[in-house]
Amino acid sequence: MFNRFIIAAAIAFTLAACGGGGSGGDRNTVMRDDPSPQIPMVPSTDHGDTTATASSIALNEAFAGRIASATDADYFRLPVAAEGTLTITTTGNANPHIRVYDAAGVEIPGRPGSYTISITAAILAKGRYIFIEFYDGTAGETYFGSTELTPSSSLSLVDKLRLYTDGDPALYMTPAQMKQAALETLFATTHFVDVPGNFFFPDGIQPQGTAHEFAWSDIAPGVANSFRASSYRPVMNHNGVNVFTATSRFVNPEAEYTTSCVGAGCTPPPLVQYTALEDVTSLGGWMDHSYFQVNSVLSCDTANSGCSGSSPVYNSGSPDIYADALARASGTNPMGTGSATWAGIMTGISYDSNPDSVVRFLGDAQISIDDLTTPIVDVSFTNIHDIASAERHPDLMWNGLAVKDGQFGESHTEQVDLGNGGFQHETMEIGAAFSGPNHEEVVGTFSFGYIDSGAFGAKRQ
């Protein structure tokens, strides 16, 4: 038996009423095929000549410059959050040389060509940023640059998550503080948000004890001694959204018949008791009025030897994956004059080419309404990365979604070109709700293309 990971006293609703779009105008769902950065404009002013006046750039974003004279040098400041191999690539006619310095100003040895350096723990200990110098190029000519960090294979999930943030990646909370803050948000939600046409809600499950406990009980009649324990870890605050990872374990007594019993006069065989164990790994975020996450579940039962302890032997086959989103729903549409934007993050999960493992994604989320007098929503997910490999993936977008009672969503099927001469039909769906006073937040779930299950949250700007 599979239990939903999120447990809360909530009122379920579906978004089927929003699926048709009403008078929402033209509706579009877009997967932008080329996630690479656009060629930047060459700045009209020269970049700084020292580390103190360095121009700020970001990983995986293109930049440009001009070598003004034979003695000119351009400095850039690049945030770097984790160990790995940094590659700096340049094109253009300036052909400058490259030097790289740590936060203390000490030069980091590099390999020329596609210039690469190793970002080590010792470098990061001096500061989570480096300086890049371009010098000795052809005077009067321009150059275009880009940077890419391939994370060390030994990095933890948390460190890999921090690779894709800007500014200060840290969420300065202890696990205990994070537990309290996240659960207070979770228990204050009123609605379970899902994609149109689906209806999931954990009937018969209620939180036990105080809001700050991670032990839960299944209070379904006749079921005793169920247990759940969870451990959350704060990761960062990105675009105003608090990001976390979590692991949870469900241990539930179950019962099943040894054989089937069909037809009149059939006497059911005895029930056989066993214990089901489910280990859940989650990646998500929480705000003041909303909570969301994607989950993967591995399970086993006592019919398997080794279904216990810290390293249980799980059932064969793919893990279960799904997404959750809960909100203190506004129930009304954002209204007024002008436009409005909500910024946050998206998380996603899909099956790997190896069906026994999954891929997790993290990216930026933006929800916008151009005219609040007739609210029509556009959704864009950008800067999407496979957390483990650092591979960047295409942007995802929905355009022209009608809002009704503070909710929006759609579900439709598209024919997708596989690139090998073949095509397949895939369902593209999204469901979301505005939450909090003045529609301060929006939260939802989706599936689209290469992401089997996703969730997102954003705050009004």
Q: Is residue 161 part of a domain?
A: no
Residue that terminates a domain, selected from 127, 151, 175: 151
Radius of gyration over alpha carbons of the chain, in Å? 25
| pLDDT at residue 214, rounded to an integer | 27
421 & 291 share domain: yes
Tell me which amino acid residue 137 is: G
- The total of structural domains in the chain comes to 2
Do residues 136 and 173 both lie within one domain? Answer: no
210 shares a domain with 141 = no
In this structure, the answer to whether residues 338 and 192 fall within a common structural domain is: yes
H or E stretch at 401:
strand 396-404
Is residue 126 assigned to a domain? Answer: yes
Q: What CATH code is carried by the domain that includes residue 215?
A: 2.40.160.90
Based on the fold, state whether residues 15 and 139 are members of the same structural domain. Answer: no
What counts of helices (H) and strands (E) characterise the chain? 4, 27
Whether 247 and 280 have beta carbons less than 8 Å apart is answered as: yes
Compute mean pLDDT per 10 residues along the chain, 461 residues long, and list them: 30 30 44 52 78 89 88 91 83 90 90 75 87 91 87 59 49 72 78 54 29 27 51 79 84 60 64 74 90 89 72 78 87 92 94 76 94 95 83 88 88 69 75 92 90 94 94
Which CATH number covers residue 76? 2.60.120.380
pLDDT for 215 equals 27
| Type of residue at 312 | P
**Centroid of chain to Cα 314:** 26
With 0-12 / 13-18 / 19 or more C-beta atoms within 10 angstroms meaning exposed / middle / buried, residue 199 is exposed
Is 264 found in the same domain as 121?
Answer: no
Phi, psi of 164 (to 5 degrees): -110, 25
Same domain, 183 and 281: yes
* Domain co-membership, 86 together with 226: no
Q: What is the residue range of 87's domain?
A: 59-151
Is residue 43 a part of any domain in this protein? no
Same domain for 342 and 245, yes or no, is yes
- 141 and 171: one domain? no
Residue-level pLDDT at 26: 44
| 151, 177, 208 - which closes a domain | 151
In a domain, 205, yes or no: yes
Domain end (from 151, 183, 218) = 151
pLDDT for the residue numbered 133: 94
Collapse the DSSP code of 176 into the 3-class scheme (helix H, G, I; strand E, B; otherwise coil) and give the result. helix
Residue 2 within any structural domain of the chain: no
The model carries a pTM of 0.64
Contact 435, 329 (CB under 8 A): yes
Task: Specify the pLDDT at position 153.
Answer: 61
| Same domain, residue pair 298 and 188 | yes
Same domain, 101 and 138: yes
pLDDT at residue 201, as a whole number = 32
Query: In the structure encoding, which two tokens stand for residue 248, read together?
Result: 């949870």
Asked whether residue 4 is assigned to any structural domain, the reply reads no
Q: Is residue 6 part of a domain?
A: no
Residue 47 domain flag: no
